[in-house]
Structure formats: C-alpha cells, structure tokens
Structure 1
Amino acid sequence: MNAVSRFFDRFLGRGDWAVTVPTLDGPLLPNQELEEAQLLASLAEADNLVHTEKGMLASSANRLLRFDIAGKAEVLQEFSGEITALAHARGMTALAVDGSGVVIRGGLHDGRVATGDEAGRLTCVTALTFLDSNTVLAANGAASLPANAWRRDLMQKGASGSIWRLDLKSGKLELIRDSLAWPAGIATTGSNRIYITEAWRHRVLAVDLATRSTVPVLDHLPAYPARIAPAFNAGYWLTFYSVRNQLVEFILREEKYRKRMLAEVPEAYWMAPSLSSWRDYREPMQGSQLKQMNVLKPYAVTRSYGLVVHCDQNMKPLSSFHSRADGVVHGTLSACEWGDDLFVASRGGARIVRLSKVASGKRG
C-alpha cells in the first residue's frame, strides 16, 4: 500500500513530491527588523554567539573572539580548524573544531581535547549544549561531510546526521538519535526532553533522552532551521539558514538534473540555498530576482534570507525578525540574549547586529 501511495504522490505531485512551500505568515510575517537593527560589529564568517559572565563569545572561521557590550572585540584563541559550534555553562566553554571533536576551555574540564572514538565520530558538529557539568550533547550534521558542506548534504538529500551524549570525564559517546537530515540545533528544557532542529525536513523535534521517543513539535516550516538559543522567559530563539524556494524543491525531485548539477556546476553557482546573494553575476536567479529600475523587490524569490523566530517553551512561534531579499543581514545561524537585547550573527552579511529591548520575554 505504501508503494502504491508513493506512486500516486509522485504522479499527482503531492506529499513528499509536492513543490509547494509554506508562506511566511502569522508570527512569521516578513518585516525589516534585522535589516534595520543596530550594527554591533563587522566580522567575517560571523557565527556561534554565546553569552558568558565576561562578555559575548563569537567565532570567525578558526578564531574565538570575545565582545564587550560596545562591540569591542578581543581574539582569545585560534584553532587548527574552523569553529563549528559553541556552548557555555558553569564557567566552561565547549567548542567544536571542524573534523576534531569537542574542546573545553575553562572550568572543571579546562584543556580537554577530543581523542579516540570521539575524534572519529564527531567530525561534523553543528551544535552543542551542556546537559550538566560533566555532559555535553552534540549534534553531528552528517556522517561523512564537514560542517561547511551543508549545501552539498541538502542537495545530496542526506540523512546521516545524529545526536550524541558525550561524557567529558571518560570521553564515552552515547548515540541518542540517528538518521537525521542535518540536525543543526539543540537545546535542553530542564527535563529529559530536548529540542533539536532537522533542517532538511524543515522541522523541530522533541526527543526524550530516557526513552529515545521522538515527536515533531514544529514542522512544515517555510525555511531551513539552524540553531536554538535559550530565551530568558523559558522560550527559545530559532535561527535559520535561509528560506525555502520552489525551484530548489523542484530540483530536489528531479534526479537527473540534480545529479548533473552537482557533478558539473561549481558549488557557488548551484541553484541551492545560500548564506548570501548578489556577489557574482553568475549566480542563478529567477524572474522575480531581476532588478527593475535598479531596484530589487523585497518580496522577490531569493536564495538567501535572514530570519530569527522567538518561540515559547513549547516551540510555538511568537514573533520573528527578518532581512528580506533586498537586504544583506542574511545567513543568520546564531543568536543570543544579553540583558534586554538580542544579538544575531549574520554569516552571509559578515556582521553581528543588536535588536534592542526585544529579549527578556518581550515579543519584539
């Protein structure tokens, strides 16, 4: 029966074969809040924001930086590879270095580096969070790709991602969940339940650490969810790679075209989501992306976008902040609160912006 159902879904263009994309509506109604936000600092490859007792940490490729509230930056350390994830708790900072596993700075496990099984398995860490003083939860985006190959994993229709529990004392790894389509964010809830984002299936999942049971709590999203950051009011900030595009959805279902594109076209020019746009005339576009009278319409179809969504403790969206097709604050992969302000890292826009007085439970 399933085979028959799949055949008719493909023939009729429904279910997994549909190319329709949910609209940005309700709490996700587009605005220009991110585009109009105050610039805190320009930073190439801006990513991975976390608030600490001494300021805000951010990553820029292989550099770990600390910012004060005025935007002054201090380089704390440089690593051999790109920093792909950050977490901070109890005076400890956990970092994922691309292809090398998890490193700890400060606190109880200061100086810890990845070895053995961990270094071999956690090669594509996309997100980290502390479960307690001795335990870290890690999202591994894919089994055989680096973290910066997220576009390739999407266009190859990958589903080899996993969630792991890492004991910082022994280095023991415990698999929590596998066969995930690029888990890019992870957050605790104060109980055995955790939230994870599954980017290529456009949803947020709740996973019970005790039973491993998994249920969607937010699905059919119009964009590809990235990291989850805690909000002061027990809610969450959900960030996104970019919005979905009907042409990309169509290409993902056209096997011959998709495989030829991957094999013959340089990755920068794939018809695929991106963290930034309009940097090269060879980039693909659709009709609505063409400038009219030298103006790009904000509602044009776009490969890159900036989006941060404020959710309650049950992951129900409350409000959102956008940088639309004509903006530059795109590729918003990380956000964190600091006092009453929300700070957002725009990797595509090479900057960190400040949204004033939207945190601490306020709805933007």
Structure 2
Amino acid sequence: MSIFFKSRNSEPPAMPLEGVLGPNSLLDEAPSFSIEKPDALAVAADGCLLISTGPSVWSLGRWGEEPRQRFSLSCRVTALAASPGGQIAVGLETGEVHVYDMAQDQPAWTVPAPSGNSPAADCIFLREDKLAVVRSGYASVHDALARSPWETAQGGAVTGHSRNGMTRVMAGGLACPMGICRDDRGDLIITEMVTACVIEPSGRVRGTGFPAYIGRIRKTQKGYLLACLSRRDPLIEFLRTEQDFVKDMKKIIDPRHWISPRTTPEFSHEFPIELGATRLFGEIKPWAPSFSYGLLVKLDKDLMPQGSAQSRANGRQHAISDAIVWNGDIIAVSQASGEILNLGSWA
C-alpha cells in the first residue's frame, strides 16, 4: 500500500511533552511586537525579514525598527519564499503565486491557481527559475485544523513550477502538507500536519510521532525549526478511531464547535472540554485542557527534538505558524496573539 494512503492506526503515538519537550513559558516571555494577521516569514537576499500580514508583505531591516510595507496584494498572503538571487515568491489565497524581482513592484512571473483554488501553504525556490509549491487542500490554517483530523481523503500535493510555464506533480495524496525545506544533502522534506510526520516527496518517512499538528519547517545551521499550530490532543487522537461519533459530529454540529484543534485560546463554555479549563475565580491553569497551544520545536539534523519553546493553556502566544533564523536570532509568528516573537539565540 502506498505510504500516502497508510492507515491512521499505523501512526505512532505522539511524543509526550516531557524531557527536552518539557513545558515552559519561553514564548510568553519572548520580546515581541504586534502586527495584524501575521502568517509566513522569509529572509530576503538583502538581509531584511519579510513578514506576511493579511493582504500585505512587510519588511524589517533590524529588530526594534518599524516595519515598512514591501508589497500590497488584493487578497490574503498564504506563503512566502526568497531566493539567493533576490526573487521573492508570494502565495495568495486565490491559489496564485507571484514571483517578484527585488527591485520591481510587479510580478516577474506567476504560478497560476490550480483547479479547486487551493492556496499555497508554503513554497521554496528550487532554482531562480523554478519553484516548489505546497498545497494542503484546505482554504486556510483555521479550516485545515478544524477539518483535516476528521477527513479520510488526502488531497494535499507538492508541485514544481518553472518560469516557462512547465508544471509537474512532485508528490500527491498527502495528508494536509504544510511546510517544505531542504535537508543537509539538498533534498526536499515535507511536513504533514495530520500524521505529524516529516516525509520525502517519495513518501519515505524521515521523522514521525511529533507532539503537535505541525506547520512549516525551516533549516538552521544545527538542524531545523518546526512550527506547531497546536498540540496533538489525546481526546482528538482517540476520537479519530470512533467513526460513528465523528460521522454524527460532522452531521449535526457546526464546524466551529467540532472537537478539533484551534488557532486561538478563545474561551467559551460552548466549546467542548473548555469547562475543564475553569478554576477558582475563573483562572485558567497552564495544565488545563485546551485545544490551542503554543509550541516551537528545535530539531537536530536527524529530526530528533532538542528543545522547545511553549505557551501553555493560560498563555496567548499560540498557533506558531512559522519560525526562522534571522541575524542570529530565532524569530517566530504567533497567529493567535498577532505577534512576531524574538527568542534570541535560544541556546
């Protein structure tokens, strides 16, 4: 049976949040600044940090400076990548990916939207004239988190696109792929959110059992940074084996109230298990049940965890959608709090 259609029962149990993944509050304590609807990061050839914010891309020259707008688009930006030669790829929620030369305000070339209008979740330059695009099969991170744990269809893909218009499928039938990068050998590796795996385009599993619904992955000098959109909740993992319950839940309950991971620590008695988060005087404890979480995992070159930065149930810096090394510091995006976090060297 193809690795892309393996049984969910074959998935290994999630790593516990202990040892090098033990709970902490590093994300809560990190210096930060607020920016509207942040999502993706990239480092441009000129050394500036690029940040996607809603329908715009902003540029930051140095930490502590005011960011300036680099591009203004007609709709939400869903992916960013920069090439060594100065090109910048900007994925849009319409499914298109525009590629800009550094000094131009108009796209030098464009990857057209696929049928089904699936936005790019991530992208990477293979060469200056070639781009690999990851499409999760869902309209947004929020939609992917709500629906993908309960879907049996695996409609994600990675496609290669050349400036001359040539397109090819590099990997298909993926379980909600969210990120892509190169390893030390220059080979591509891809994250699958639902299975919490890092795989090669061939389907070979390189890392598995991660304790989260994983997002983008970025190469560092010592290994990788793995951005996590939420932790893998034991209740959700158990209910994925209860098909009758899932069928009824999807049929009669609004998706907003499904038992699913979320990007925000919004509290409501309408949400499942949230009553368990209430303590004396309404205080939410760090260990309380929560479907949102802040987690960034540092991996070595073999994709083994070496450390983590967290924002627990009572924190705000949840839904880490991207993280990257910039000027020696680890910079991360918290979608839940709408902040860019600076974790420094995070030794």
Same-fold call, TM cutoff 0.5: yes
* Alignment partners' CA distance in 1, 2:345 and 2:197: 28
Aligned positions of 1:193-342 closer than 5 A: 193-207=187-201, 212=202, 214-231=203-220, 233-285=221-273, 288-342=276-330
C-alpha displacement of 1:103? 0.5
Q: Which amino acid aligns with 1:180?
A: L
Figure out how many residues of one structure are paired with residues of the other and give that number. 336
Match of 2:108 among 88, 106, 112: 112
Match of 2:41 among 44, 49, 57: 49
Which whole-Å deviations, capped at 9, do the CAs of 1:238-293 have from their partners, x for residues lacking one?
10110011221233222233233233323322210001123444222256422234
Match of 1:129 among 114, 118, 124: 124
* Alignment partners' CA distance in 2, 1:280 and 1:289: 10
TM-score by length of 2: 0.88
C-alpha displacement of 1:98? 1.1
* Alignment partners' CA distance in 1, 2:276 and 2:269: 16
Contact kept in structure 2, 1:94 and 1:104, CA below 8 Å = yes
* Alignment partners' CA distance in 2, 1:147 and 1:137: 19
TM-score by length of 1: 0.84
RMSD value over aligned CA atoms? 2.6
* Alignment partners' CA distance in 1, 2:16 and 2:157: 29
1:355 alignment partner in structure 2 = 343
CA distance 1:134–1:107, shift in 2 (3 Å) = farther
* Alignment partners' CA distance in 1, 2:56 and 2:267: 24
2:3 alignment partner in structure 1 = none
Q: Which amino acid aligns with 1:125?
A: A
Which aligned runs of 4 or more in structure 1 are off by greater than 6 angstroms? 17-20
C-alpha displacement of 1:328? 0.5
- Structure 1 window deviating more from structure 2 (20-29 vs 173-182): it is 20-29
Contact kept in structure 1, 2:97 and 2:111, CA below 8 Å = no
Which whole-Å deviations, capped at 9, do the CAs of 1:295-336 have from their partners, x for residues lacking one?
322122210111111112222221111111111100001011
Query: Among the aligned pairs, what percent are the same residue?
Result: 23
Contact kept in structure 1, 2:132 and 2:159, CA below 8 Å = yes
Q: Which amino acid aligns with 1:100?
A: G
SS in 2 for 1:35: helix
Which whole-Å deviations, capped at 9, do the CAs of 1:171-221 have from their partners, x for residues lacking one?
2111111111011010012545211101101111134xxxx3x32121111
1:12 alignment partner in structure 2 = none
